Amino acid sequence: MVRGLCIMLTVMLFQSIDAAAVLADMENFDRQRQQMVARQLRTRGIGSKRVLKAMRTVPRHLFVPEHLRDNAYADTPLPIGYGQTISQPYIVALMSEGLALEPGERVLEIGTGSGYQAAVLAEMGALVFSIEIDPQLGNRARTTLQQLEYETIRLKIGDGYRGWPEAAPFDAIIVTCAPEQIPEPLESQLAEGGRMVIPVGESLHQRLMLLTKQKGEIREQKIVDVRFVPMVDSHGKPY
Ligand code: SAH
C-alpha cells in the first residue's frame, strides 16, 4: 500500500517535471519566434500583417531535424536532410508577401520540402496544393502537417514541373526550387489576375521573379537575387 503510493507519487513528480520542461521549451521557442519576426522580418520591410501573423504562429522548430531545433529561428537556411534545405525565414516571408494572398485563394507550391512554407500559406488562409518530388521528404512533411492539424493543405508526390492540372487554375503559385526557365505548364495554370513567385536561373545566378497574369498576358518583375536548390526531373537532372 505504502509502496504503491510512493510509486504513484514518483510517477506524478516525473510527469510534472516532464510537463514543466515541455512548457519551458514551448515558451522559449515562442519567444525566439517573436524575435525572429521583429528583427529579421519587420526591420527588413516585410509589412504584410497576414505574413507576419502567420510567421509568428507556425512552429518552425517542428519542421527542422531535432538536432537543429535550437537554430530553427536563426537568420539562415537550414539542412532538412536528403541534400535539401528549408529557406531562411526572410526569404519565406518575402515570397509569401509577393503572392498577395487573400483568404480562401488557391495556391500551388512546387517543392514541399519540410512543409514549413506550406504551413505559412495555410496559416495565411489559403487552400494549399503542394508537390514534392522526393517521396521521403514528402511523406515526412505529410506526417508533420497532419500532427499540427493543417487541414487545408493537399500534398502530392511527383514532378512539379507539370503543375497540378486537375486542381488548376491557381490564384497563386510559389516555386521553392529553381528551374533554368519558367515552366510553361505553371504559367498556363495561373488564373487571370494570378501571381507567381519563382527563382529562375542556373545554380549560382538565380533571380527571384514575380509574374502576374493580366488579360492572359504575363508580366515579369525581378524581386532579388537568390540561391535555391535546382528543380530536377525524376532522374535528378536539373530543368
Ligand atoms: N519549401 C520548402 C523548402 C524546399 S527545398 C520548405 O518550406 O521546407 C526545395 C524542394 O524542392 C526540395 O525538397 C526538392 O526535393 C524539391 N524539388 C526539386 N525539384 C522538384 C520538382 N521537379 N517537383 C517537386 N519538387 C521538387
pLDDT above 90 covers what percent of the chain? Answer: 86
pLDDT tier for residue 19 given thresholds of 50, 70 and 90: confident
Q: Which has the closest alpha carbon to 173: 161, 181, 41, 82?
A: 161
Instruction: Give the nearest ligand 1 atom to 92 CA.
Output: 7
Hey, what's the cell of 92? Answer: 519565406
Residue ranges covered by each domain of the chain? 32-226
The rounded Å distance from CA 221 to ligand 1 centre is: 23
Q: How far, in Å, CA of 209 to CA of 237, rounded?
A: 22
**Count, residues in the chain:** 239
48 is catalytic: no
User: To test ligand 1's pocket by mutation, which of 55, 108, 112 has the most ligand atoms within 8 angstroms of CB?
Assistant: 112
Ligand 1 centre from 133 Cα, in Å?
7
Distance from CA of residue 147 to its chain's centroid?
16
Q: What is the pLDDT confidence band of residue 13, given thresholds at 50, 70 and 90?
A: low
Residue 18: per-residue pLDDT: 78
Question: Which atom of ligand 1 is least distant from the CA of 87?
Answer: 3
| Among candidate residues 177, 182, 187, the one with its CA nearest the CA of residue 226 | 177
Can you say how many angstroms the Cα of residue 74 is from the centroid of all Cα atoms in its chain? 16
pLDDT(17) > 70: no
User: Which residue in the list 87, 96, 114, 130 is annotated as catalytic?
Assistant: 87
Residue 120 has pLDDT above 80, yes or no: yes
Q: Which of 164, 158, 132 is nearest to 145 (CA)?
A: 132
Q: Average pLDDT over the chain, rounded to whole?
A: 93
Q: What pLDDT, on a 0 to 100 scale, did the predictor assign at position 20?
A: 82
Residues with CB under 6 Å of ligand 1 are 80, 84-87, 110-111, 113-114, 116-117, 131-134, 137, 159-161, 176-177, 229, 231-232
Q: Tell which atom from ligand 1 comes closest to the C-alpha of 111.
A: 11
CA gap 209, 224 in Å, rounded? 8
Mean pLDDT of 69-78: 97
Higher pLDDT, 24 or 82: 82
User: Does pLDDT of 10 surpass 70?
Assistant: no
Ligand 1 atom closest to Cα of residue 141: 8
23 has pLDDT over 90: no
- What integer is the mean pLDDT of 146-151? 97
For ligand 1, atom 4, the nearest C-alpha belongs to: 113
CA 210 to CA 67: how far, in whole Å? Answer: 35
3-state helix, strand, coil in the chain (%, to 5): 45, 30, 30
Task: For residues 33-60, give the mean pLDDT.
Answer: 98
Residues 190-206: tens digit of each pLDDT:
999 999 999 999 877 89
* C-alpha to C-alpha distance for 181 and 84, rounded to whole angstroms: 21
Q: What is the CATH number of domain 32-226?
A: 3.40.50.150
